Amino acid sequence: MNCNLIVLKMKSRALLEAEINSKYSRRFEKFGPTAKGVFWASTARQEKRFDLILKEIQKISRNHIVLEIADIGCGYGSFADYLNRNHNKSKFNYEGFDINPKFIKHCRNKFSEANLRFIIDSKPSSKKDFVTMSGTYNLATTTNVSLWEQYLFICLSECWSYTKIAMIFNLQTSTKSKISSQNIYYANASCGHFISHHVSRNLQSKYPGSLSREYC
């Protein structure tokens, strides 16, 4: 991996995000508001990651009365629904962000709780205690690994600047950075080194290998 972060041209980013929107819109139209509708193999596998994210949030935030959570790439609101079922609703305020207007429209129509908001964007609108991303950058819309990693690093850097306590995200991993024939991005160890150097030196890698092959 080229560890020199090149500023991603606005045109290139716009093209990547347009293709992301297109892929997810077609998938959502086919499978609806389900795990498969956002390229997960099953709800059980999707929620396995949610379990780990919530576990980390609860462990870190013991003394916080009300948590402010931003969910980047919220899709059809699966993590919001999960939090409602597994965490005291009076103990968190949630904002879901997605660049796909169809997802945000669906979420606004589905959820009426006062502690939930949904916004079209790729980053938080204000600083939050926790910024989470589950599978957000796994589906690549290019075969160019360097280009996708530039996009990944820029998005992580933007979101980190809005993080008060912790940013929690997951990536598929391999011995070598690659994009598979199914367009799944796999990061290698050097990706973690780059993130810790350019985004935050407090990067912690947890549960290595326990979440592999969970995208379809």
For every residue of 160-196, DSSP letters joined together read HTTEEEEEEE--EE-SS-EE-TT-BEEE-HHHHHHHH
3-state secondary structure of 159: helix
Domain boundaries, the chain: 11-198
pLDDT at position 209: 45
The single-letter code of the amino acid at 106 is H
| Contact present, 215 and 135 (Cβ < 8 Å) | yes
pLDDT score, position 10: 75
Q: Which CATH number fits the domain 11-198, given the four candidates 3.40.50.970, 3.40.50.150, 3.40.50.720, 3.30.70.560?
A: 3.40.50.150
Handedness of CA 102, 19, 156, 209 (dihedral sign): positive
Q: Read out DSSP for 81-123? A: HHHHHHS-GGGEEEEEEES-HHHHHHHHHH---TTEEEEESSS
Q: What is the pTM of this model?
A: 0.86
- 48's CB contacts (< 8 A; 6+ apart) are 211, 214
pLDDT tens readout for residues 38-96: 999 999 999 999 999 999 999 998 777 899 999 999 999 999 999 999 998 889 999 99
Tell me how far apart the alpha carbons of residues 202 and 194 are, in angstroms, rounded to a whole number: 12
Angstrom distance (rounded) from CA 174 to CA 44: 23
Beta-carbon contacts of residue 187 (< 8 Å; ≥ 6 apart)? 149, 171, 172, 173, 174, 177
Residue reference for tokens 């890698």: 205
Give the residues of the chain that fall short of pLDDT 50.
Answer: 1-6, 201, 203, 207-216
> Does residue 101 contact residue 127 with C-beta atoms inside 8 Å?
no
Please name which of 151, 207, 168 lies closest in space to residue 11, comparing C-alpha atoms: 151
Let me know: does 121 contact 16? Beta carbons within 8 Å: no
Confirm if 66 and 114 have CB atoms less than 8 A apart.
Answer: no
Phi first, then psi: what are they for 91, rounded to 5°? -105, 5
